Amino acid sequence: MAKHKHKHYTSSSIRITAVGDGGVGKTFMLVRYATKEIPLGYEPTVFDNHHCTINYGGHEYDAVLVDTAGQEGFEKLRNLSYPNTDCFLLCFAVDTRDSFLNLSYVWIKDIRKVNKTAKVLVIATKSDLKEESLEVGITEQDVLGMVKSIKADGYLECSAVTKEGIDHVFREAVRVVVEKPKRRRCTVL
């Protein structure tokens, strides 16, 4: 496999792993990106590792997209895929408050136990249901506070139903992995 000639990333594949509560839409998001459509009446189980190339900044990067499932017995499987992950997609559904809270209570701890250095993007899935998120009480401020407290590298919204934001999620995952850290500007608060 051809190695990337990117200055700051020379590994052959960027591993992107989706985690989060069951039912938040991880598999739908991955299937939507990988196959560009969700088959009608599709009932996903777990999505097989998917190899693809992702364009970012005029380069093509080899990537592997990895799904996880939270059920008992999958723990071992998860812990096998965590250590080699370059970027985690920490997913919560905008219409499920528990899935949001569990990113801080469960998921960030779960991944950091075995991987201290991977990049982390917080992904709000099912953004087509955002109206409902006001009812379940997840405000923008809540989200940004959480993103900061878990030291995530970014926050994005997407919908596997409308496809809005889907491509952006995967481009961002590549960006945070390959881009060299910006030199901190002197900021005056």
Ligand X SMILES: Nc1nc2c(ncn2[C@@H]2O[C@H](COP(=O)(O)OP(=O)(O)O)[C@@H](O)[C@H]2O)c(=O)[nH]1
By CB under 6 A, name the binding residues for ligand X. 22-28, 44, 125-126, 128-129, 159-161
136 binds, among ligand X, Mg ion, none (CB under 5 to 8 A by kind): none
Nearer CB in complex with Mg ion: 27/127: 27
Query: Cα torsion for 155, 80, 60, 127, to the nearest 10°?
Result: -30
Among 17, 27, 102, 115, binds Mg ion (CB under 5 A): 27
Span interacting with Mg ion, options 10-18, 24-32, 50-58, 121-129, rule CB under 5 A: 24-32
C-alpha to C-alpha distance for 114 and 70, rounded to whole angstroms: 16
C-alpha to C-alpha distance for 61 and 72, rounded to whole angstroms: 33
Nearer CB in complex with Mg ion: 56/107: 107
65 three-state secondary structure: strand
24 binds, among ligand X, Mg ion, none (CB under 5 to 8 A by kind): ligand X
Determine, following the binding rule CB under 5 A, whether residue 68 of this chain makes contact with Mg ion.
Answer: no
Nearer CB in complex with ligand X: 9/107: 107
Measured CA distances, 57 to 3, 6, 7 (Å): 16, 11, 13
Residues contacting residue 131 through CB under 8 Å, at least 6 positions apart: none
Nearer CB in complex with ligand X: 74/113: 74
Minimum CB separation of residue 188 from Mg ion in Å reads: 45
Bridge-based pairing state of the strands 59-66 and 50-56:
antiparallel
Amino acid letter at 134? Answer: L
Which residue minimizes CB distance to Mg ion?
27
Minimum CB separation of residue 5 from Mg ion in Å reads: 35
Span interacting with Mg ion, options 20-28, 89-97, 98-106, 176-184, rule CB under 5 A: 20-28
Nearer CB in complex with ligand X: 28/100: 28
25 three-state secondary structure: coil
CA 1 from chain centre, in angstroms, equals 25
C-alpha to C-alpha distance for 29 and 169, rounded to whole angstroms: 9
Q: Where along the sequence are the contacts to Mg ion (CB under 5 A)?
A: 27
